């Protein structure tokens, strides 16, 4: 029941909130394919800068919303849940590359380690 309500309201979550919730689900080994799909679509939308409304702050979208530690938590949760979504991982890697000069080193290596752990196959469409 809670999962369905969460799916309906996923668009209200920030990237940090989405990562924290997915991490909690991963810690308890609870998964719902529908919920994970909804989260993946939402993460892609947040990281690609596709706003839901024009009244929301720009900081909520794009790479400025994605600090490396949040991306690491998100990547670890998705890997733990064994959920694969190539589009979401391309968006995560792209956001990490945009933030590569972030002075906080935490998280960068974890994103790539968890992505490699899930054996994501790169797309032949070009760079992320």
Nearest Cα neighbor of 31 from 19, 40, 41, 22 is 22
Are 10 and 39 a contacting pair, CB within 8 Å?
yes
pLDDT in tens, 58-82: 666 666 778 888 888 999 999 999 9
Distance CA 53, CA 65 (A): 16
**Domain regions of the chain by residue span:** 2-117
Per-residue pLDDT of the chain in tens (128 residues, 90 and over written 9):
456 778 888 988 889 999 999 999 999 988 889 999 999 999 999 988 776 654 456 666 666 778 888 888 999 999 999 999 999 989 988 888 887 776 565 555 666 565 555 544 444 444 44
pTM: 0.75
pLDDT of residue 63: 66
Residue 113: partners with Cβ closer than 8 Å, 6 or more residues away: none
């Amino acid at each position: 029941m809670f999962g369905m309500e969460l799916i309906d309201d996923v668009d209200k979550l920030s990237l940090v909130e989405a990562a924290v919730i997915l991490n909690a689900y991963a810690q308890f080994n609870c998964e719902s394919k529908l919920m994970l799909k909804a989260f993946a679509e939402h993460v892609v939308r947040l990281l690609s800068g596709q706003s839901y409304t024009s009244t929301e702050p720009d900081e909520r979208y794009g790479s400025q919303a994605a600090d490396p530690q949040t991306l690491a938590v998100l990547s670890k949760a998705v890997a733990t849940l064994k959920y694969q979504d190539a589009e979401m991982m391309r968006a995560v890697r792209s956001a990490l590359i945009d933030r590569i000069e972030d002075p906080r080193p935490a998280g960068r290596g974890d994103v790539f380690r968890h992505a490699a752990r899930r054996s994501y196959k790169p797309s032949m469409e070009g760079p992320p």
